[in-house]
Structure 1
């Protein structure tokens, strides 16, 4: 991959260092007090390098938050247990205490950014939970294709249920969601909404 100016190849390692430094600062000082100069210092990068890639602080922070969500999912890389419930159970991996603490710290740091405009709030939400939503949508659509979920089920909406609850727990209740809670939500909300009988 090259820079937008057509110059020398972009250093992916430098990008990672910049985005990781941004996340660290976001958890430590919050969005308002985060500065590009301090990000550059911690990442060992020049401010000009950062501004070429992310022209504003908001864009830099959203890119860093998006890194937490991971790459866009592909169906071939997702669990395939033969049932939607089994696929979702395999998708929901336990977080380490360090991961939970970082997620909570990022949500605390994002508070002022989220209040600045609906557009920024939506962008931050999409960056954090977008891949999680898409992973579930792909699994649900595959369940439709194999006949487990009836045609016409609103998979696009239902795929947002557990990500929305995860975001609510982090942003409002200031605590992570564990796998048991997510699977309870699958059994009492997700599967009934898709007209799939939960396990007996």
Structure 2
């Protein structure tokens, strides 16, 4: 029949994944370069080589865009840990978490901290991501080690303590997360706290 098109999609074009990645990468780069306050949808669109409406079709605003970029950068599920004892499981889980945090540039962490102080929406998004990550860490605590007697809420304590110590070490002390520091966290802090006396 004249004027008809074959195999026409019912809901328009599929989303261009390349554009998605370009937008998220541009967001992270600009966050480090100019900070959260100076970052804008316009600047992200220009850096990604897309129009501003393309960004707004995907994200409701700056906070949602930044949260999506942060989630894209970091894996949220800890690896399966094949550990025979609690200490080894703690070392491996803490090491994975430290690596996840250390992969974030110091400038990015600083931009996020500053942005959270001035933007309630960003603070809410970052807390949502934190709760998601804590849930992932506590769903199968310490590699599923069994037969160990732990205090109630041990996995939650782990999720509160380790990120704080890692961020303090990286951002404020300016030292790397090496094996001796991980052993200090596990032997001197976690094991005494997580096991009942």
TM range (shorter): 0.7 to 0.9
Change (3 A) 1:177 1:135: farther
Is 1:124 the counterpart of 2:126 in the alignment? yes
Q: TM-score, normalised by structure 2?
A: 0.75
Structure 2: runs of 5 or more not aligned? 1-10
Change (3 A) 1:12 1:164: farther
Maintained 8 Å contact 1:129/1:163: no
Q: Of 32, 43, 46, which aligns to 2:48?
A: 43
Q: CA RMSD in A?
A: 3.2
Deviation at 1:115, TM superposition (A): 0.9
Question: SS state of the match for residue 19, structure 1?
Answer: helix
The reply to whether residue 54 of structure 1 matches residue 59 of structure 2 is yes
Q: What residue ranges of structure 1 are gaps of 5+ in the alignment?
A: 1-5
Aligned partner of 1:157 in structure 2 is: 157
Q: CA shift at 1:15, angstroms?
A: 1.7
Correspondences of 1:1-200 after superposition (within 5 Å): 7-70=12-75, 72-73=76-77, 77-91=79-93, 92-93=95-96, 100=102, 102-116=104-118, 120-127=122-129, 130-131=132-133, 133-137=134-138, 138-140=140-142, 142-143=144-145, 146-150=146-150, 152-170=152-170, 173=172, 175=174, 177-180=176-179, 181-195=181-195
- Structure 2 residue matching 1:165: 3-state secondary structure: helix
Contact 1:23 1:61 in 2 (8 A): yes
C-alpha distance 62-81 of structure 1, shift in aligned 2 (>3 A) = same
Deviation digits for residues 3-49 of structure 1 (CA, Å, limit 9, x no counterpart): xxx65333333222211110100000001111212211221222111
Aligned residue pair count: 183
Structure-1 separation of matches of 2:62 and 2:142: 36
Question: Cα distance, 1:175 vs. partner?
Answer: 2.9
Q: What CA distance in whole angstroms lies between the structure 1 residues aligned with 2:196 and 2:88?
A: 13
- How high is the TM-score relative to the length of structure 1? 0.74
* Alpha-carbon distance change, 111 to 151 in structure 1, aligned in 2, over 3 angstroms: closer
Checking the alignment, whether the CA contact within 8 Å between 2:45 and 2:52 is kept in structure 1 is: yes
In structure 2, do the counterparts of structure 1 residues 120 and 176 end up closer, same or farther at CA, with 3 Å as the change threshold?
farther
Would you say the 8 A contact 1:28–1:109 is kept in 2? no
